[in-house]
Structure 1
Amino acid sequence: MTDLRTPPVNDGDLFSERVRQYAYDRPLQRVQVLEAGCGQGFGLDLRDVRRSVTGVDIDLPGLRAHTEGRADLDSWHLGDLRTVPMPPRAYDVVHASYLIERITQAELVLDRFVAALKPGGLLLVRFRDRATAYGALDRLLPGGLGRLEGRDGPASIYETVASHQGMQWYCMMRGLMVAEEYAGRAAFDRLGRWRGPVDRLCRAVTAASRGRLSGDHTEMAMVIRKPENRFARVI
């Protein structure tokens, strides 16, 4: 198991840096990126990397409006993530940021992402961790914490895989390699004036759960690699 730690301070976002490194090792190749969850956020900072970016997300009005305004996408598909087009072994990178916790049948969707990756490709996932005080409050409070963060769409669902342990188990069962994993508290930064009250409430939840629900982090970032070996136990 990799060490759980705070993301390093380096040249830009961790995921963007890992994709730039991936591209550097393949100078003649156009990097194919699947931006999963394209209805929120603004994607990777790939600078002069030669790439083609396809977006996918569930089809909701707010997510569609955001997707239509993104200039970094070469193409996109919104709909049921169990059926939207994802050709097998077509992508070098699947970037799924704050998606896993807000969908149903998340393991099935992850299976589709893994199947869409080329051998040796990168699955980059960032998600709010359900096994934290913050995740518990986001699940249990009416409407969740999404409105305080400024999130679009309905409250997050948080299936079991949307946790550090759940994602570790998923990777082990699929034969995927977790190359790096980091804990963070970025959700608090999006709360604005609500940061202090929510932080205190999270500490109370941690104490009430006797430490079972961590108050040290709100989310996970994981760099996962699909093995090159075609005989490895992967989808």
Structure 2
Amino acid sequence: MLSQRVRDQWSGLLGRRLDVLIAGCGWPEPLDLAQMETRVIGIDEDLPVLRTSTSARKDLDSWTLGDLRSVPVPPRAFDVVYVSFLLERIEHAELVLDRLLTGLRPGGLLLVRMRDRASAYGVCDRRTPAALRRLLWRRFTPPGTVGPLPAVYEPIASREGMHSFCLVRGLMVTEDISARSGPALDGPLGKLARAACSAVETLSRGRRPASRDEVTMVIRKPQSHFARLV
């Protein structure tokens, strides 16, 4: 679905090159950019597991790893900014997202995929101590899954948090889709992971659903010069 939205965006450029920024490039979720003229830049945190994953990617023209509060993001340089499973694992996520938006041209697309802190899976992920997550990661996740990565889950890493962020900044949410994609749910101990999420849903009286844990949003930056500039 996101790849089609990118293709639609490129069609509107009337042959101009499509400039794409992938924030969270260490998580290998590439867009399908076949048969389009593109320039794809990747940025992410500088962690050993992310450096290994990023260096193995073949779809990036260049990439930079470092503190996302200071990694260079040229203003209004990109037609698409794709934030791929990043917001839930970094601190100062709202500040980082504001910086990414400065790199998005008016009328450009912000594509977000994230783990929802309000889901049962999100609760289990963020409440599990870091040492225990490191111990259990390979036992619960499918082979080759990148991680374990930090589980920060600031308020913006939720459907409500993202809608509030977009409302304040004058951004238009055009699509908002839920899914269940937590890696532990399909791993060797997936049955146990799903049981844990079901227990959280029951104990929370349904406020922390087990049926979904991912939020995908398509967001457009306004063209209007009178809208708040971000």
Match in the other structure for 1:84: 71
Q: Say which is worse superposed, 176-185 or 196-205, in terms of deviation.
A: 196-205
Match in the other structure for 2:21: 34
Q: 1:102 to 1:21 in 2, by over 3 A?
A: same
Out of 18, 38, 44, the residue aligned to residue 5 of structure 2 is 18
Q: 1:209 to 1:190 in 2, by over 3 A?
A: closer
Trace 1:1-235 onto structure 2 (pairs within 5 A).
Answer: 14-143=1-130, 144=133, 147=138, 148-149=140-141, 150-187=145-182, 191-235=186-230
Q: Say which is worse superposed, 18-27 or 220-229, in terms of deviation.
A: 18-27
Report the AA paired with residue 31 of structure 2. Answer: L
1:67 Cα shift?
1.3
- Aligned pairs, number: 222
Q: What SS is found at the alignment partner of 1:168?
A: helix
Structure 1, unpaired ranges of 5+? 1-13
1:188 Cα shift?
5.2
Q: TM-score, with normalisation over the residues of structure 2?
A: 0.92
Say if 1:92 and 1:122, in contact at 8 Å, map to a contact too.
yes
- CA deviations on 1:154-180 (whole Å, 9 max, x unpaired) are 331100000010111111011100000
Say if 2:43 and 2:63, in contact at 8 Å, map to a contact too.
yes
1:95 Cα shift?
0.5
Distance 1:146 1:106 in 2: 24
1:230 Cα shift?
1.8
Say if 2:90 and 2:150, in contact at 8 Å, map to a contact too.
no
Taking only the aligned residue pairs, the percentage that are identical comes to 49
Distance 1:95 1:183 in 2: 17
Pairwise CA RMSD:
1.5
Distance 1:207 1:42 in 2: 32
